[in-house]
Structure 1
Amino acid sequence: MLDVYVPKADSAKPRPVFVWIHGGGWFTGDKAGGTMEYKAKTLVDNGFIFVSVNYRLSPDLAGPKALSKGRLIFPAHYLDAARALGWVNKHIGQYGGNPKKMVIGGDSAGGQISSLLATKPAFLKARGMSTRQIKGV
């Protein structure tokens, strides 16, 4: 469901956390795909803890079926990403992270999921969180 990347050097203060949600039109993509390793390295090298998450994907349908009822498994994508953020909130301190300094982001579908989670309180509230905990998108 998620991968955590931690800087090698110890820190006296808890580190900020960047949570990455992959793109792929809600039907493709993976937490380890694309240029994710470069994103993780860049942020970890700059003192962040980097977390990359997966979420359930909608079926990959083409042609007329692409618009068929039930193609998108809404809201599963958001629920899975919110569950990952809830895990980060609860456990990131064990990795030296500060759950009160969390930034979320993504590309394509991941960017949309990030934006929705940061602005629609119900998804995070169900995980014991508040949108106020998200310091940037």
Structure 2
Amino acid sequence: MADNDGALQVELVAADRTVWSGRATMVIARTVEGDVGILRGHAPLLSLLTDAVVEISAEDGDVVVAAVDGGFLSVAADRVSVLSERAVLAEEIDVDAARAELDRQPEGDLAEDDEERRIRRAEARIRAAEKVR
């Protein structure tokens, strides 16, 4: 295990940017197998994320909340990497736009899976924004 005074080193990365990086005491994420909480000393893990909310309890006491569009969660030696095509911090989310996306009728011949994913993403953004308001 890495010796970092009881903290995890966490990276929340989207395809176009590092969304958040720092030391944390806990990370909560939703994988395809269910919700997982990561604390110092967690066993190595590699899992697929769903479109959902990720919560990071920063070492300074702040809680970082983000909505992720799927991706991967990797845990090894007290290092946690959350990798997603798109990740948005709760304070960056336009709740009205997310609600409009949720209410929007499907366009054209969108596959049922694609429509369900669009809805899950909008719901995740709304949940993330509501957690910090």
The two structures have a TM-score, normalised by structure 2, of 0.26
The two structures have a TM-score, normalised by structure 1, of 0.25
Looking at secondary structure, tell me which structure has more strand per residue: 2
Looking at secondary structure, tell me which structure has more helix per residue: 1
